[in-house]
Structure formats: structure tokens, C-alpha cells
Amino acid sequence: MEVSCHEIWREISNYLDNDVDPRLRERMEQHFAHCRHCAALLDSTHNVLVLIGDNRAFALPADFSKRLYAKFAAHLASNR
């Protein structure tokens, strides 16, 4: 059974934390191999976590989170 992009987006954090069922993890890895959008999301999310884990601090532009969530919402809406 294939995993949908929506399920990938919902579980990406758990996947990176290695906190998903092994069967789901395998299905997600198969999905990443064929879906460039979700593979890019995986890579980007991983990079953000690496940056956040870095001890150096940096300021994000004002309203950054609002714009980011708006883009995610628009992308999710266009894929339904």
C-alpha cells in the first residue's frame, strides 16, 4: 500500500526522529524514491533541523512563520 504525500507531510518529523513503525518507514522510503516533492521536503526538513541544532543563532525575517505556513497550506490544498 502506497503512502500519500499528505501522510508523508504529516509524518516527516516522526520519520526523521526514527519514531515510525518499520513498515511505514519502508513505505515512506519507497515514496521518497519516486516523489521529488516529498524527497525535497525530507531534505529541507533535515537541513532545517541541522541548522537549528547549530549553536550559532540567526534571526528570521518578520512574519516568516506565517508565510511558511501559508505556503504549506496552499501546497496541501493544491494536491487534494
Q: How many domains does the chain have?
A: 1
pLDDT tens, residue by residue, 30-75? 999 999 999 999 999 998 888 777 666 667 778 888 888 888 888 8
Whether 25 has a pLDDT exceeding 80, the answer reads yes
Give me the amino acid identity at 71.
K
Distance, CA of 77 to CA of 46 (rounded, Å)? 24
- What's the confidence (pLDDT) of residue 57? 61
pLDDT of residue 64: 83
Identify the domain containing residue 48 by its residue range.
5-78
